[in-house]
Amino acid sequence: MASEYNSTKGRKPLSSETKPSYVKLAMQNMVKKGSTSLLHFGLTICGVVGLLIGLAAVFH
């Protein structure tokens, strides 16, 4: 890992720093796999909205 560099903190090797947070890793993953992440995000939003509409209809 000493040959890789962290783009947010200059040119220091990653091995001398603490591990990046899960949020930072998730955001980097979303940038790398943009369309897949957006598709999954859209499907999740549709599912949550559908669930809320379904519950509202059942308990109306």
Domain boundaries in the chain? 14-58
pLDDT per residue as tens digits for the range 18-44: 777 888 888 888 788 878 878 888 999
Short-list 18, 33, 38, 35, CA closest to 8: 18
Residue whose token pair is 């783009």: 7
Q: Cα(23)–Cα(48) distance, rounded to whole angstroms?
A: 22
pTM: 0.49
pLDDT reported for residue 7: 54
Residue 2 pLDDT greater than 70, yes or no: no
Q: How does residue 54 score in pLDDT terms, banded at 50, 70 and 90?
A: very high
